[in-house]
Amino acid sequence: MKKIGILNGEISSVVSKMGHKDLIAIGDCGLPIPDKTKRIDIALTKDIPSFMDTLKNVLLELQVEEVILAEETEKNNPKIFEKIKKQFQNVKFTFISHEQLKIMLNDCKAVIRTGEQTPYANIILRSGVIF
Q: Which of 7, 13, 20, 106 is catalytic?
A: 20
Integer CA distances (angstroms), 38 to 34, 61, 81, in order: 8, 19, 25
Residues annotated within the binding site for substrate are: 28, 98, 120-122
Which residues are part of a known binding site? Answer: 28, 98, 120-122
Residues 126 and 23 sit within 8 Å (Cβ to Cβ): yes
Question: In the annotation, is 111 catalytic?
Answer: no
Q: What is the DSSP string of 65-98?
A: EEEEEETTHHHH-HHHHHHHHHH-SS-EEEEE-H
Q: Which residues are catalytic?
A: 20
